[in-house]
Amino acid sequence: MNQRRGDGTALLCALVLCNTVCLGAFGPLLPEIGRARSLADWQLGVLAGSFGFARMIADVPTGALAGRRLGTMLAVSPAVLLSGLLLLGSGGPFPVLVLGRVLTGLGHTLGMVGGLTAILQDDRRATGSVRLNLFEFAGMLGVLGGLTTVGLLPAAWGWSKSLLIASSPLVVTFALIPALRRRFPDRARPTPSAPTTPSPRSRTPTPPIVWVMFATGSVMSLSWSGVSQFLIPLRGTREFGLDREGVSRLLALAQVVDLAALLPVGWLADRIGRVLMLGIVLTLLGLGTWGTGLGSFTHFALGCALFGVGMAGWMLPLGVIREHTDLRALAWRTGLYRVGIDATSFLGPLICGILSEAYSGVFIALIGLTAVITGGRLLWRGLT
């Protein structure tokens, strides 16, 4: 049984790795898309943020389906992603580009919520954080692959062709579909501790720490979306004169540091406590966010590295929620958590676009200060 579950985790990691390559490929190309389509900053914000908007509106429905249609969700995810990618890569008018970005967000949600549901339902407390971070590790490896590939492709190919070529590993996921359907069949038997009747909302009060985790996840998501999807590409290009390769390297720096820290952070969280570890990484995330928002180029680059360390704790709030939630309320609270995450993922680049590149750095720096204050409070809680 343990081997079978391990194989399932490996399948989920392979799926999320290939699904996220197109996410990494998009960021460095944002300035080129803006120039090629003559888009204003607010339009770039809408285009970048529509990914998070699609995930926000899809979180609760996909969470409700995960218990009964898990295999179908995982199998459909690559097809939806591919359709969105083809629309986005068509280079069509602005509404078509936004629709493509929305479909990529929907496809990513199907795979991410389905994968998280499968891992959380098979909770093993001794390695819970490591398994969640392993899933995140695979996703970040995919993002890094997209970033690296885009940075290596000739700029003369244009953003559309570069996006499609860099995202080509997505086709591998179609070969995984038969194995995913076998390992995660629809209509799985409910566990005795997870009845499908009365509503968990009316039976299980939400502990204060869970609400704190909702807020913490939202702060992390707002930082991630504003910095990686808007500020680094545009500030790097306009203020520091970086080309596509330079922007890709900075984004890749954050991803490499994230990958290097993910498994150690998960291992430490299982031993010193998730709340304490979350306080540490959130404080570093806040400092990195401030550096990318207002710092000189040196602080900008250092901020990218610290940002990567902070994002290594991306899964820790969900692990804390799992510690304080029985299976009857798990799907509901996971859905609520994901709504907050993806709402802020949508709002980050949108707000930055409305403020324009001139003022978005101040907004991001304020988010960084909020992260530092929140991280300090979690550190105190973890130590006491």
pLDDT, tens only, 252-273: 888 888 888 888 888 888 788 8
Alpha carbon separation from 52 to 15, 196, 307, 350 (Å, rounded): 20, 29, 19, 10
Query: Is residue 187 very low, low, confident or very high in pLDDT (cuts 50, 70, 90)?
Result: low
Q: Give the mean pLDDT of the chain.
A: 83
Domain with residue 143: its CATH number is 1.20.1250.20
Question: In this predicted model, what pLDDT tens digit does every residue of 96-118 receive, in sequence order?
Answer: 999 999 999 999 888 888 888 77
Task: Say what the pLDDT of residue 166 is.
Answer: 92
pLDDT tops 80 at residue 340: yes
Number of domains making up the chain: 1
More confident position, 246 or 126: 246
More confident position, 195 or 262: 262
pLDDT tops 70 at residue 306: yes
Residue 317: domain span: 2-187+196-383
pLDDT tops 60 at residue 197: no
Q: Are 247 and 236 in contact (CB under 8 A)?
A: yes
Mean pLDDT, residues 151-171? 90
pLDDT tops 90 at residue 283: yes
Helix (H) or strand (E) holding 52: helix 41-89
More confident position, 198 or 318: 318
Is residue 384 exposed (0-12), middle (13-18) or buried (19+ Cβ within 10 Å)? exposed
Question: In this predicted model, what pLDDT tens digit does every residue of 3-38 receive, in sequence order?
Answer: 444 447 788 889 999 999 988 888 888 888 988 888
Question: Structure pTM?
Answer: 0.71
Query: Is residue 200 very low, low, confident or very high in pLDDT (cuts 50, 70, 90)?
Result: very low
Task: Say what the pLDDT of residue 98 is.
Answer: 94
